[in-house]
Structure formats: C-alpha cells, structure tokens
C-alpha cells in the first residue's frame, strides 16, 4: 500500500476535496507505476484519478462511526513519534 496515502475518515475538520484528490493521485501513481504518464496515457490516468477520487468521497460520505473525531495535529505528532522510533531520528 502507498505509505503516503493517509487515513481520511473521522477527522475534524473532515478531509478536503484536495486531500481526497491527492490520495487518489497517489493510488493511481502506485498502480500504474508512473508519476507522470505519457501523453498517450494522460487521459486514462486523469480519468482514473477522477473516478477514484469520486469513489473515495462517496465512501467517506457513507461511513459512520460512534468514535469521536480525531485531531489532525495529535495524529501527526503520533506519526512523527512512530517514525522517530522506527528510524532512530530525533523529533524537533
């Protein structure tokens, strides 16, 4: 799975359309093996990103939970601490 694709559900504030698009773009890049498709493949690449972004938004809109929304800053700090422990780097 793409390590750069982040969880988008149950955050306050909710995921933006830009975040959904970025996740879809990362997914299509991973699946296609290309960060910049050729001109011949650009239309199919862009259509896939749009379709996946729409499906992702539909999924996020349809999910329900009783858990309280997560705080983006707190989750980012946790991720940074995990990375520091995993890679032996200092957090600043």
Average pLDDT over residues 81-90: 83
pLDDT per position as a tens digit, 20-54: 999 999 999 999 999 999 999 999 999 999 999 99
Q: What is the C-alpha to C-alpha distance for residues 31 and 33, in angstroms, rounded to an integer?
A: 6
Please give the angle made by the CA atoms of 29, 62 and 30, to the nearest 5 degrees: 10
Model pTM score: 0.80
Of 76, 58, 72, the residue nearest 10 (C-alpha): 72
């Amino acid at each position: 799975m793409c390590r750069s694709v982040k969880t988008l559900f149950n955050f306050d504030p909710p995921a933006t359309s830009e975040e959904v698009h970025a996740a879809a773009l990362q997914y299509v890049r991973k699946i296609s093996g290309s960060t910049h498709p050729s001109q011949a493949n650009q239309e199919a690449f862009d259509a896939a990103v749009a379709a996946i972004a729409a499906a992702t938004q539909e999924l996020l809109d349809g999910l329900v939970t009783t858990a309280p929304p997560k705080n983006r800053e707190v989750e980012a700090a946790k991720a940074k601490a995990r990375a520091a422990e995993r890679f032996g780097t200092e957090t600043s």
